[in-house]
Amino acid sequence: MATAVTPHAQLIQASWARCRSYGLGHQSTPDFGECDSRQLEQLLERQQALLRTTRDEVLPSFAHLLGNSSYLIMLSDADGHLLDSWGSQRFIDPRQSRGFEPGARWLEQGVGTNAIGTALACQQAVHVGHDEHFLKRNRFMAGAAAPLYDAGRQLIGVLDVSSDSYLPASQTLGLVRMMSQSLENRLILEGYAGHCWQLSFNTGPNNLDSQWAGLLLFDTRGRVLAANRRADSLLGVSPLHGQIEQLVQLPLAQLLAHPPGATFAVHVAERNRFHCELKPPLQRPPSAGPADLDPRLAKALQQAGVMLEKNIPLLIQGETGVGKEVFVSTLHQASSRAGRALVAVNCAAIPAELVESELFGYEKGAFTGAHHKGNPGLLRKADQGVLFLDEIGDMPLPTQARLLRFLQERTIQPLGSGEPVAVDIRLVSATNHDLQAQVRAGLFRQDLYYRIAGLSLSLPPLRERSDRRALIEQLCQRYREPGQPLELSAKVLELLLRHPWPGNVRQMASVLQVALALAGTQRVALEHLPDSFFAELDEALPVASASEDLQDQLKATAGNVSELARQLGVSRTTLYKRLRNPL
């Protein structure tokens, strides 16, 4: 009598079959891809919210389960790139160390059957045991991984729990499912904080605050803007963009009349009787409000919001690191499309030979090596949402022509398909280039420029912004360790405000991260600031300090050059030069 093959065994068998089709053998060396420092910096910048929520909010909630174990937690993006890892790395095979560094890519094509890559391939939670890895070099560990989805049901990453221990598969798989659901819930709540009512519901009254409760977020008109996947499961249908009144079979006014935090019962969507808890619009964590924001940024956000709602394309210009991605994310969250996807496309990061298939998609079997399910393409993923074309000045000319046709017709024709597909998007583009100069040089199509630049906005560099102090406070709040003093010394704050910041907001965030890490539980002092910070300050030494006043200050320190250099925030070498040649 033949033994039935379990769904898990079928999943692993299918993965092994894919690995063979990629040309892999059991003795193959894992290929984690290449990711240079610039690509890694851009990758981590794009995934800042996902990283921060995982590190600061989700992992501490599961510390009691992870603290005394040999677990390693890994987080990847939707393309399999490792973003960060936490926990024990003692069991890692030294030959595999590259695979546990940020930027390493855990796709089945290069690494064979593995928890992250296989979860991406089958888009479901999966456990891969030691001997279930296709490549023998990966069999030193076992792992479970679950895909992560945002409020618009777009795949945004994978959470993995790995270990060298022979733990029950159900234990590790259950843990990663709990953590992934908790992470998805927190991302949904953060994305809609400030303007949505929150309804939690479940089959019993005692588990409304667990990650397994259904979660609905709706606006003051009763329109459901976001929901977790648990809500889909409980309701048997996706509630997104439906009306809360129809789901709970109560008039909106009657629903909102329930006291916040009180438990009540309803028949949701004519299915089971569910217990519910209602919470008023969530409050965002403290941040720079309109009064703190630089007036030029506030004006740019206001104008951009109007243009986005009227479907007028936006071109955001500014130096590298000024925060174009953050600007667009803020714009999206404040728009009527906040419940839909924001699809960011880095036009400089996609290899030229893959631009066509990545942007416009392809049908299954369209070409050799095509994914067996096909690929909808980034443009189609942005349907009903916002498409953000970052670094558009680096887009190859042939792709510019295809993009122009799409913007004219608002339809795409995936490779291998004869049927055009209509796509509804709002368009925002960004660049640090002078696109008009590129047009004159023949590097950028003039007709495309006028298609993407309905309104062109320039974001000011950090050195010109009036809200630098508020931004410093926000960044310190974001990156400081628990219990670490938030206040900076007056001298450190003065130097931060005086710094020219050639790398803009991105550079400031990096400097503060380093300083806070070095300071530990202490208050940030001058010695915690990196040397490169002072090297750039050397050029900003006031001319007045290089006059007789400089000699007076030296006398005040009893001739102590090192002390005066610290007070001025420059290196001793620079100070010696100014003393010898003050002009």
Residue pair 394/352 in contact by the 8 Å Cβ criterion: no
Q: Tell me: the pLDDT tens digits for 212-226?
A: 899 999 988 888 988
Share of the chain above pLDDT 90, in %: 36
Q: Is residue 203 part of a domain?
A: yes
Q: Is residue 177 part of a domain?
A: no
Res 284: pLDDT: 42
132-146, 334-348, 465-479, 517-531: which is most confident: 132-146
Q: Which of 132, 99, 176 is nearest to 15 (CA)?
A: 132
Of residues 242 and 352, more confidently modeled: 242
In a domain, 334, yes or no: yes
Q: Report the CATH number that the domain containing residue 50 is assigned in CATH.
A: 3.30.450.40
CA distance 300 to 338: 19
Provide the CATH number for the domain around residue 557.
Answer: 1.10.8.60
Shortest CA distance to 301 belongs to which of 338, 335, 327, 339?
327
315 and 456 co-located in one domain? yes
Mean pLDDT of the chain: 83
Instruction: Scan for tokens 């629903």, then name that residue.
Output: 255
Whether residue 283 is predicted with pLDDT greater than 50 in this model: the reply is no
- Quick check: 567 and 577 in contact, CB under 8 A? no
**pLDDT (mean) for 557-578:** 71
Chain centroid to CA 53: 9
Q: Quick one: which of 321, 318, 339, 303 has its CA closest to 429?
A: 318
Give me the amino acid identity at 283: Q
Pair 411, 491 in one domain:
no
Q: What is the pLDDT of residues 38-62, one digit of tens each?
A: 888 888 888 888 998 898 888 888 8
Count of structural domains, the chain: 4
Residues 455 and 477 both lie in one domain: no
Check residue 525 and give its pLDDT: 84
The mean pLDDT of 186-198, rounded to a whole number, is: 79
CA distance 334 to 311: 15
Give the closest residue to 112 by CA, choosing from 98, 90, 128: 128
Q: Which range marks the domain in which residue 268 is found?
A: 192-279
HSE (CB half, 13 Å, CA atoms) of 554?
16
Residues 336 and 427 in one domain: yes
Q: Which of 250, 279, 308 is the last residue of a domain?
A: 279
Q: What are phi and psi of 118, to 5 degrees?
A: -75, -35
pLDDT tens digits, one per residue of 451-505: 999 999 999 999 999 999 989 988 887 777 766 776 788 888 988 998 999 999 9
Are residues 220 and 257 located together in one domain of the fold? yes
Checking DSSP bridges between strand 425-431 and strand 314-317, what pairing results, if any? parallel
**Average pLDDT score over residue span 542-559:** 61
> Rounded distance, CA 142 to CA 19, Å?
18
- 300 in the same domain as 243: no
Q: Is the pLDDT of residue 205 over 70?
A: yes
343 φ, ψ (degrees, to nearest 5): -105, 110
Residue 366 sits in a domain of what CATH number? Answer: 3.40.50.300
The answer to whether position 79 is within a domain reads: yes
Going by pLDDT thresholds of 50, 70 and 90, the confidence category of residue 237 is confident
pLDDT at 343 over 50: yes
Q: Is residue 409 part of a domain?
A: yes
Instruction: Read off the tokens for 439.
Output: 């047009």
Residue 372 lies in a domain: yes
pLDDT for 543: 41
Same domain (yes/no): 236, 103:
no
Q: Does the global pTM surpass 0.85? A: no
Residues 448 and 539 in one domain: no
What letter represents residue 493's amino acid? L
Residues 381 and 320 in one domain: yes
d(CA 155, CA 332): 18
Q: Which of 152, 242, 153, 157 is nearest to 199 (CA)?
A: 242
Cross-strand partners of 427: 387
Token pair belonging to 103? 């930027």
Question: Is there a contact between 8 and 127 (Cβ–Cβ < 8 Å)?
Answer: yes
pLDDT reported for residue 66? 66
Q: Which of 135, 170, 205 is the last residue of a domain?
A: 170
Is the separation of the CB atoms in 214 and 234 below 8 Å? Answer: yes
More confident residue, 22 or 563: 22
Q: Both 451 and 333 in a single domain?
A: yes
**Are both 145 and 251 inside the same structural domain?**
no
Compute the distance between CA of residue 69 and CA of residue 118 in angstroms, rounded to an integer: 24
pLDDT digit string, tens, across residues 91-140: 787 778 889 999 999 999 999 999 999 999 999 999 999 999 999 999 99
Residue 377 confidence class, pLDDT cut points 50, 70, 90: confident
In this structure, what are the phi and psi dihedrals at residue 363, rounded to the nearest 5 degrees? -85, 160
Q: 41: closest CA among 284, 391, 304, 401?
A: 391
Per-residue tokens: 27: 């003795």
Q: Is position 155 within any domain?
A: yes
One domain, residues 18 and 129: yes
Q: Determine, yes or no, domain membership for 164.
A: yes
Q: Is the dihedral of CA 234, 236, 240, 242 positive or negative?
A: negative
Instruction: Tell me which amino acid residue 509 is.
Output: A
pLDDT of residue 195: 66
Neighbours of 176 (CB within 10 A): 25
Which two three-digit tokens encode residue 66?
Answer: 């992870």
